[in-house]
Amino acid sequence: MKAYWVVRGHILDHKEYNKYINLAGPIIKKYDGTFLSRGGKQVEREGSGFERTVLIEFQSFEKAIFCYNSDEYQEALEFVKSSAKRLVVIVEGLH
């Protein structure tokens, strides 16, 4: 069953966050993650504060968790700590 990373973000330091993006993209692809949405136009309803939404599809919940917990992804996350406020959810799909 497929799984998804749903990432909502408010970027505080674009230059520092771009370091994360440059590292994370190839890592996610290495673990067979597919970007379905990567920022772009959005309208927030029922709450606000996150101007960026990223949706990534994985072939299974286990692969999604494995990618997130990988040493290389955890190293990339170091650039997020001071550059963004984020909400990250890994959720199993219906099919």
Answer yes or no: are the C-beta atoms of 58 and 92 closer than 8 Å. Answer: no
- Higher-confidence position of 9 and 44: 9
Answer yes or no: are the C-beta atoms of 20 and 79 closer than 8 Å. Answer: yes
Report the percentage of the chain scoring pLDDT > 90: 87
Answer yes or no: are the C-beta atoms of 6 and 88 closer than 8 Å. Answer: yes
Q: Which helix (H) or strand (E) holds 35?
A: strand 34-38
Say what the pTM is. Answer: 0.92
- Condensed to tens digits (0 to 9), the pLDDT of residues 62-83 reads 999 999 999 999 999 999 999 9
pLDDT at 48 over 90: no
* Band (39; pLDDT cuts 50, 70, 90): confident
